[in-house]
Amino acid sequence: MKRIYIVRHGQTYINRYNKMQGWCDTPLTTPGIEGAEEAGKALSEVPFDIALSSDLKRASDTCEIIMKYNANKDELQHIASPFFREQFYGYFEGMDSEMAWRMIGGSHGYGTRQEMFAHESIDTIKDWIKEADPYHQAENAEEYWARLDDGFKLISQLDGAENILLVTHGFTIRSLWYRYGDPIPLVPGPKNASITIMTMSEKGEIKIPKWNLMHL
């Protein structure tokens, strides 16, 4: 049985300004660094066998901070991979979040993301993001899950790794909640530097028993 400790990266400047942040990237704020340190302390006694993260700097930096506090810090290897990146929002990258979600959900009768997340599946929302993107370059559900599934295939092939750190992103964690953590609500979403625990059996069965923790 593998236990995957999924951490959302610390707060960034774009998070602070409430803008869409998928593949675009900004540095951690001072509270973001402090949040990563708190997550590191909360997970310090979990003897991680490997540390994984998105290759986006905000996630990679958060992972490195957490690793500094870990019981296995001297042996721990960090692999940063595009498999674990955030949803790609295409045209909406860097846009004010509320404006972007109104553009994405408005034609379907939703004025806010909170309404949309409460009533629609996350895969439907992914498809609407691509549909609303004038360039149609945002990821839809099929494209997104093809990438994430490659990441979880990688995890399944990590022989001998029982405790795994994975630092990724808010909409990605929501996506995992939707797929593996029913009936976890999509609103409110995961806090910056929060911890979600996922288990993966030898047969590949995945469950999420705990989510959005600030302490173990």
- 2-90+139-213 folds as Rossmann fold (3.40.50)
Domain boundaries defined on the chain: 2-90+139-213
Q: Distance of CA 49 to CAs 16, 66, 70, 92, Å? A: 33, 13, 10, 37
User: Measuring CA to CA, which residue among 50, 97, 90 is closest to residue 72?
Assistant: 50
Query: Annotation-wise, does 8 bind a ligand?
Result: yes
Q: Which are the catalytic amino acids?
A: 9, 86
pLDDT, tens only, 164-208: 999 999 999 999 999 999 889 999 999 999 999 999 999 889 999
pLDDT, tens only, 141-162: 999 999 999 999 999 999 999 9
What's the sign of the alpha-carbon dihedral 202, 122, 83, 59? Answer: negative
- What pTM, to 2 d.p., does this model score? 0.97
The distance of Cα 103 from the centroid of its chain, to the nearest Å, equals 23
Query: Annotation-wise, does 14 bind a ligand?
Result: yes
Query: Annotation-wise, does 10 bind a ligand?
Result: yes
